[in-house]
Chain A
Amino acid sequence: MNIISEVGINSYLWLAAILFSIGVMGVLFRRNAIIILMCIELMLNAVNILFVAFSVMHNNPAGQIMVFFIMAVAAAEVAVGLAILILMYRNMGSVDIDTMKKLKW
């Protein structure tokens, strides 16, 4: 039984697109750097769903390997990102991205 043939690949595309757009919107919407980071994770997960769906559709394991890689990279990215955030919090006492406007023009 194949879920793809039941709900159609389009549903997955929709789902991924919606999640991705919510992620983008979240990035634009919030000022808290941590939440922005979470929204980026949402975007990545939208991509993950898409990869798995395509992987199943094509009966090709490469997509799932890619998801595995994306997770790993996301973990590394988050580790580094949070380290930078903590550093910043130590110096500025805030994680509000709009307080960072030292560099402009």
Chain B
Amino acid sequence: MSVIAFYILTVLCIFSALMVVFSKKPVHSVLYTIFCFFNIAGHFLLLNAQFLAIVHIIVYAGAIMVLFLFTIMFLNLNAEVEPHKSNLLKVAAVVCGGLLLLILVSCLKGAENIPVNPMLDTQMGMVKNLGMVLYNEYMLPFEMLSILFLSAMVGAVLLGKKETK
């Protein structure tokens, strides 16, 4: 059952990812991205990472992609005016991407030899469990993350403000 679910999600995921790249209208790209992210959230669920699945949908689909959508609407970019690259470059891009994939895959083989920890803890991906880890061991990076956010916030405001000149 879950194997089938895995393959369905995977196919959908790859398909939507490809559509992100190849669809002509930016809005379509965004929508495909959101769809892709839902699939990925599905993968997370399959992997028993329930908390992350929810967060993924909230953050990515709910926040990030809405931001994208907002920007596109705001800038009124939805026309198919985007001039495309020359065919040569497009072919080169596909070749490059394919080459990278081939290399990655051929180099990654043999990973199945890594021992799988048999002690599967289905509760690991739950909020309670992750929360304990996050606020104990990973307290410091978490706090630092707040500085990162502060920086991003100040930066976004700084850039967004109208120049008074």
Contacts and interface: CB of A to CB of B under 8 A. Distances in A.
Asked if A pairs with B, the answer is yes
Interface residues of B, number: 84
Contacts, number: 236
A36 to B, nearest CB: 10
A75 to B, nearest CB: 6
Contacts of A32: 26, 77, 82
Interface string A79-104: 11011111101000001101000000
A34 B92 contact: no
A24 B119 CA distance: 36
Interface in B84-113: 84-85, 89-90, 92-94, 96-98, 100-101, 104-105, 108-109, 111-112
Interface string A13-50: 11101111111111011111011011101100100110
A43 to B, nearest CB: 10
A42 to B, nearest CB: 6
Interface secondary structure of B, over-half rule: helix
B20 A39 contact: yes
A67 B52 contact: yes
Interface of A: 1-11, 13-15, 17-26, 28-32, 34-35, 37-39, 41-42, 45, 48-49, 52-53, 55-62, 64-65, 67-69, 71-80, 82-87, 89, 95-96, 98
Contacts of A37: 68
Contacts of A34: 26, 68, 71-72, 77
A78 B68 contact: yes
A45 B97 contact: no
A68 B54 CA distance: 11
Contacts of A7: 3, 6
